[in-house]
Amino acid sequence: MAEQFAASRDRFAGLDLEWRGGIPLLPGAAAAAVCRVSRVIVAADHALVRGAPAWCRADEGAELLLFAGGHYHDLSAAVMSAVVA
């Protein structure tokens, strides 16, 4: 899925999205959240949007991946050891 979103074509093409409150949720995501905008802070040509969670879910058994340095790295073991410690 990461490679699909890195491509310049339609990133959502072919995905069976779940919808919650008009927000598309990615299938198989380790976590998802839908938030209400609580504040927008404008700084120069950027906007920081702060949200209040309206709904969320997490899959505790999901594999967590990080893409850095041109490679995927499995963070599952590192996160679990930090939680247990």
Name the pTM for this structure.
0.63
pLDDT at position 44, please? 94
Whether the pLDDT of residue 77 is over 90: the answer is no
Domains of the chain: 2-84 (2.30.110.10)
Between CA 63 and CA 53 the distance in angstroms is 23
Whether the pLDDT of residue 5 is over 90: the answer is no
Between CA 57 and CA 29 the distance in angstroms is 10
Position with higher pLDDT, 36 vs 81 = 36
Nearest in space to 33 (alpha carbons), one of 63, 48, 60, 53: 53
DSSP designation for 18: E
Position with higher pLDDT, 20 vs 85 = 20
The owner of tokens 């920081």 is: 48
Which residues sit opposite 23 in a β-bridge?
20
Rounded average pLDDT over 34-40: 95
Whether the pLDDT of residue 38 is over 90: the answer is yes
Between CA 80 and CA 85 the distance in angstroms is 9
pLDDT band at 79 (very low <50, low <70, confident <90, very high): low
Rounded average pLDDT over 51-59: 92
